[in-house]
Amino acid sequence: MDNWLDMLRANYNWSLVDRIDTYQQKFIQGEYCDIKTKSIACPLTCCAVKFGASGESWRDNGKKRSAGEIQITALPELKKARPWYKDIDSTVLQQNIKRLDKAFENFFDGRGFPKFKNRSTMRSFTFTTGVKVDGNKIYLPKLRWMRFYNSRPIPTAFKIKSVTVRKKADGYYVSIRIEDTNVPVFPVKSNSEINTVVGLDMGLGKLVYCSDGSVIDIPRFATNKKTKRLQRILGRRVSRKNKHSHSRRKAQQKLSLFQHRIATKREAHQWQVAKKIIKKADAIALEDLNISGMMKRCKPKYDEKTGRFLPNGRVLNVLCLGQLQMLPGMR
């Protein structure tokens, strides 16, 4: 599985370079005149373009393929040129290209441009077919049967849609997505059936203020004195080791495992708090507040004529944050 992650990372980065080169050649560099033949030539040598070096640009029905579909059709040529990619399941390679498609969709929606993957950001792969579960054993194509901790058994009527294998600091985890079209929609209570309501307000000094007067404290798993000291010691040990050395990798692994334990405690605490809240009442009312936006510093406003500062709403933000910290609950 470690080898798979290395090869998938290389394939992802190559596909991203291929699309960047396609854009540069097609929309920026454009056509040019060949000196010898004195004819217009177009230097389109990438995979994700028509008449490229590899990949089929058109379907049998005459419709043009997208960039991701062209790169998926080029996977057999990749396996011929790089035989070691035959050890990876074909659906895993296809999902790797679709992950790049999703990154470009996010970019077109206004998010950041897709970035190249490294060992810390490429830590998972997905199967879509061929997965079987039998008790505490799971079968993954090309990886065969292996034991795993089955935290929740899969009902017999459900169908496995996809399986994601994710590498974390303390080992590999398996996420199984299941589906059953026969399951009815979860029933929603009518207003006449709701007898009790609890209101929740997020605070800064406390985690949640409840309308019944109860308060849930912030656990501070990562910001208490002992944890901060241990994290500072482990980080110092990493910085003292030589870069790209085996000892530095071992020290980084210890730091990552320490941070993973903190994240596990925080996630478990969130589930415990959610279970405690849903037992309070039949319905829950939440306040729609942008806490992160309220904590940001407002941009200064200037008077164009005099150059003096104008009110920018910072005082209102400070007053709202102060009220969130002082209010014992919502009534």
Residue among 128, 175, 123, 178 at smallest CA distance from 151? 175
Q: Provide the whole-model pTM.
A: 0.71
Q: Residue 314: its pLDDT value, please? A: 59
Hey, which residues does 124 pair with through a beta bridge?
Answer: 166
Q: Residue 291: its pLDDT value, please? A: 66
Q: How many Cβ atoms from other residues are within 10 Å of residue 150's Cβ?
A: 15
d(CA 88, CA 75) in angstroms, rounded, equals: 11
Tens place of pLDDT for every residue, the chain, 331 residues?
999 999 999 999 999 988 888 777 777 766 665 566 666 655 545 555 544 444 566 777 777 778 888 888 889 988 998 999 999 999 999 999 999 999 999 999 998 999 999 988 999 999 999 999 998 999 999 999 999 998 888 887 888 999 999 999 889 999 999 988 777 777 777 888 888 889 988 777 788 888 888 898 889 899 899 999 999 999 999 999 998 899 999 999 999 999 999 999 999 999 999 999 988 888 888 877 766 666 666 677 777 777 777 776 655 554 454 444 444 443 3
How many CA atoms does the CB half-sphere of 100 hold within 13 Å?
Answer: 29
Q: Residue 104: its pLDDT value, please? A: 93
Contacts 24+ apart (CB under 8 A), 169-176: 169/253, 169/256, 169/257, 169/259, 169/260, 170/257, 170/260, 172/1, 174/138, 174/148, 176/131, 176/133
d(CA 97, CA 101) in angstroms, rounded, equals: 6
Annotated domain spans of the chain: 2-108, 124-179
- Look up residue 152 and give its two tokens: 């929740």
Q: Residue 319: its pLDDT value, please? A: 46
